[in-house]
Amino acid sequence: NGDDLLQPLESCISDAERFKEAATLELTCTCGAHFAFGGIQESSYYTVTFSGIQCSSCGTQLSSLRVASQLERLIRHHISLYYAGWVECDDVSCGVHTRQVSVYGKRCIGNTGRSVGCKGVISYVYTDRELYNQLLYLESLFDVDKARRQELRPLQDDTENRIRSDSGETKKGISQSTLDALAEQNRDTFGAFQSVVQKYFEQCGRRYVDMASLFNFS
């Protein structure tokens, strides 16, 4: 559609921008604490140590299976949400939000339910582009090279940090040398988490260009 034409290529924009809308990965620790995991970066709720992710409230190291299971559940949650197939009308005066689809697809069923009258265009609320970006975001969390280059999406909801920096106190970041070391030490474990996301990328239709539709073979 026309809107996308003026956008820069998605792969060229920063993760912070590209993954703005993506849902965060919330991890639950054995102690019951919940926190948003944002990869190897500063957070007051967890620390990435040389041997994995550590909860700040109880000091426990989260096992790989604990992290991977919560990651995979979140992925499946999003795939299922996508397949719920909610659609929406772009005409604000209509506001139809439904899971019913007309035999014309883009035609609005309208408030009357009779599929006449409303000139709005219907589209899926959760698009495959958003789902794809969500998966890419989750994969980026375990991308140790991105972490080293400090290219990860910052943890937005870390309000505590923001207050601290507002009050003039310097926000303590992770030094580059520590970052480099942490990245190398966690490469294998984080790779296993990335493989969980990869499992779904292999299935994801958006990742593969349909050559037949581009060139109209057949």
Partner 1 sequence: PKKYQFRTMRQKLLDTADVLDEQIDSMAKTLQKHHKIAESDFGNPCIASQFSVYCCGRIVPDSPFAPVELRLNPDSLFLETSRLGGIGQRISIDVQSLAEYSFFPGQIVGFKGKNPSGERFIVEQVLDIPYLGAPVSNKTELLEYKTNLDGSSMKTTVLSGPYTPSTKIDYSLLESFVQKLNTEIKPHSVIMFGPFLDITHPSIRDGSIESVPELQGKKVATLDNFFRAVITPILKKIDSRIQVILIPSTRDSISSHAAYPQNSFERKSLQLPKNFKCFPNPCSFQLNECLIGVSNLDSFKDIKDVNRGKIGDLNRFDRIADHILQQRRYYPCFPGSLKTRKGPDGTVEHICGADLDMPYMGLSELYDVLPDVLIIPSEMRYFVRVVKNVVVINPGYFLTGNNAGTYVTLSVKPPNPEVDDDDLTCINDDDRLYIHNIWKRARVDIINV
Binding site for partner 1 (CB under 8 A): 27-28, 30, 62-70, 72-73, 76-77, 79-85, 87, 96-107, 109-111, 113-116, 122-124, 128, 131-132, 189, 192-193, 195-196, 199-200, 202-206, 208
> Can you spell out the DSSP letters for 56-68?
TTT-PBPPHHHHH
> For partner 1, which is the closer residue by CB, 168 or 205?
205
Residue 3: strand, helix, or coil: helix
Distance (Å, whole) CA 66 – CA 90? 41
> For partner 1, which is the closer residue by CB, 132 or 179?
132
Query: Measured from the CB of residue 107, what is the shortest distance to partner 1 in angstroms?
Result: 7
Count other C-beta atoms under 10 Å from residue 76's C-beta. 11
Structural contact between residues 42 and 173, judged by C-beta atoms closer than 8 angstroms: yes
Query: Measured from the CB of residue 172, what is the shortest distance to partner 1 in angstroms?
Result: 28
> For partner 1, which is the closer residue by CB, 174 or 204?
204
Residues 6+ apart with CB under 8 A from 146: 15, 39, 140, 152
Distance (Å, whole) CA 218 – CA 212? 7
Distance (Å, whole) CA 148 – CA 177? 9
Query: Measured from the CB of residue 80, what is the shortest distance to partner 1 in angstroms?
Result: 5
> For partner 1, which is the closer residue by CB, 102 or 176?
102
Query: Measured from the CB of residue 109, what is the shortest distance to partner 1 in angstroms?
Result: 5
> For partner 1, which is the closer residue by CB, 106 or 171?
106
Query: Measured from the CB of residue 37, what is the shortest distance to partner 1 in angstroms?
Result: 12
Residue 46: strand, helix, or coil: strand
